[in-house]
Each structure stands twice: as C-alpha cells, then as structure tokens.
C-alpha cells in the first residue's frame, strides 16, 4: 500500500476510488475517470502530495475534456477570492442575487444588546437570511465550533431586536471550505443553516454553483491577479458576467476570457 500526504499534512493510503470519483464529479465519463485513476495509480509514489495528484488529474482531464478540467479548478478558484475575504462576500452576494434574493452587503444591524457588522442580508418574500461569510485559504483549514457559536450568539441578539419583526428570520453561515463535524452538529442543533464545501450533503456550495453555473471569475485560467482586482472593483464576480457587462480591459484578453467562460457556461465541450 502506498501512502500519500493529504492537505492537512497527514499520511493516508492512496485511493484509486477518490481519484476516480473526483474525475466523475466534474463530468468525466466512467471510462475516462477509470483511465485517469489507473494512470495516477501507476505514477503515485510514497510521500506524494494529494495536491500533486490532483494537479495530474487536471492535466489529464484537460487533454480529453476541457470543461471538466475547468470545473476541477473550482475549489482553488474560490481560494483566490482572498486574501481579505471581502471578495468572497461579494461572490456569495452575487450567488444569492442570481438565485432571486434581494441582497445587501456589509450592513450594521442593531440587535437588542449590541450592533453587529453583518456580511450580507438576503431577502426573498418574507424570508430573510442574516449571513456570515468565513473565507479560508490554508490547506485543510475548516470552520470550527467557536465560529458557529459566535454566529449563533450574534443572530440571537439581532433576532431579539426590532429590525425584522414579522419576518421569517434565519441565520446562515457560508464558507468556501468544510465544517468540522462538531460545528455542523451544533449548528443543526440550534437551527442555524450552514453552507460550505459538500455541506449539506448533496446540496453544498459547490453543488449550487455547478447546477446554476455560478462559477467565480477566478476559475478562468487566463485571469491574473491584476485583472481579478479590476473585475472585483467593477462588481464582476461571476464568469457569466463576461457575457452581459462591459469590461475595461484589452479586447484580446477579454475575448480569451470569454472563450474560457463559454466552455463552462454555454456547454461548449
């Protein structure tokens, strides 16, 4: 058995199944996913990092199915929405706007005891989400119970105040990473909704993004850091925004980005 090093720096057995499933999740056929997993299994060596393994998977996907290779970038693309976390808040706001919510970012809300700086408010009819965004970019980093506790405490005070009387008020904690089991258990117990990488099961943030094609602009390979900053300043957070907004960048660069976005958004294989 060959042991590899995961994102948390720990040894774990190499898993043909994990490689196969990762390729299948982004749209590779059963045949292609098996071929990729078999190729990686031949090349894996003791101490190889899982990051290197998935880099090889992306390379193999790119040769056969470019769209799957782009989708494989999603987790890394979300990490690029930092380092301050504010672009991540804007991205989450853009997602909820596309889902039909009226969104307000960075509002100060008066609770019963204190005033709270809230990352976003999302309204649809009588439903109101008080949203907190927690961005993480360290390998293996997760959202722990202390964050869930603080989020719930602030929400209870806002709920006790006078701002949202008569509304279906809910707390929502959103992250680009995973929750610990304890944090997820606590949030479920107190009735807070949480949304993260593969959580809730089958309805996680990545699932919402993929089903609605709400990919972040940072998923496009030709987008450098300078261009990303320009787009964020112009409130262009989604790859699909390139088809409906004018952007002040060189035409050649813009067209290249649009072609990459077309593969994701317009079902170009």
Categorize the per-residue pLDDT at 268 as very low, low, confident or very high, splitting at 50, 70 and 90.
very low
Closest CA to 92 of 108, 105, 75, 79: 105
Domain regions of the chain by residue span: 3-64, 84-212, 215-265
The pLDDT of residue 151 is 97
Tens of pLDDT along 180-221? 999 999 999 999 999 999 999 999 999 999 999 999 999 999
Position 259 pLDDT exceeds 80: yes
Write the pLDDT tens digit of every residue in 125-176: 999 999 999 999 887 899 999 999 999 999 999 999 999 999 999 999 999 9
The CATH architecture that domain 84-212 belongs to is 3-Layer(aba) Sandwich (3.40)
pLDDT at 267: 61
Mean pLDDT in residue range 63-72: 92
Work out the percent of the chain whose per-residue pLDDT is above 90. 80
Q: CA 35, CA 24: separation in Å to the nearest integer?
A: 11
Q: Give the three-class secondary structure for 227.
A: helix
Residue range 9-62, pLDDT digits in tens? 899 999 999 999 999 999 999 999 999 999 999 999 999 999 999 899 999 999
Q: Tell me which of 170 and 224 has the higher pLDDT.
A: 170
- Long-range CB pairs of 258-263 (<8 Å, 24+ gap) are 260/70, 260/220, 260/221, 260/222, 261/215, 261/220, 263/66, 263/67, 263/70
């Amino acid at each position: 058995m060959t042991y590899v090093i995961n994102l948390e720096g720990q040894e774990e057995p190499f898993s043909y199944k994990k490689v196969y499933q990762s390729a299948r999740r982004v749209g590779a056929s059963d045949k292609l996913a098996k071929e990729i997993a078999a190729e990686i299994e031949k090349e894996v060596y003791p101490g190889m990092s899982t990051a290197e393994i998935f880099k090889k998977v992306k390379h193999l996907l790119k040769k056969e199915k470019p769209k799957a290779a782009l989708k494989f970038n999603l987790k890394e693309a979300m990490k690029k929405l930092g380092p301050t976390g504010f672009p991540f808040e804007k991205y989450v706001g853009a997602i909820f706007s596309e889902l039909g919510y009226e969104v307000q970012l960075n509002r100060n809300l008066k609770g019963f005891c204190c005033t709270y700086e809230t990352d976003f408010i999302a309204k649809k009819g009588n439903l109101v989400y008080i949203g907190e965004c927690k961005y993480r970019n360290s390998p293996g980093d997760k959202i722990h119970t202390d964050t869930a506790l603080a989020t719930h405490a602030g929400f209870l005070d806002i709920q006790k105040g006078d701002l949202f009387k008569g509304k279906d008020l809910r707390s929502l904690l959103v992250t680009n990473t995973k929750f610990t089991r304890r944090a997820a258990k606590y949030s479920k117990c107190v009735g807070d909704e949480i949304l993260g990488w593969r959580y809730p099961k089958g309805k996680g943030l990545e699932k919402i993004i993929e089903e609605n094609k709400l990919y972040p602009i940072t998923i496009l390979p030709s987008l450098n850091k300078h261009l990303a900053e320009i787009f964020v300043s112009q409130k262009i957070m989604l790859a699909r925004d390139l088809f409906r907004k004018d952007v002040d960048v060189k035409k050649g660069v813009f067209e290249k980005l649009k072609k990459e976005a077309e593969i994701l958004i317009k079902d170009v294989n």
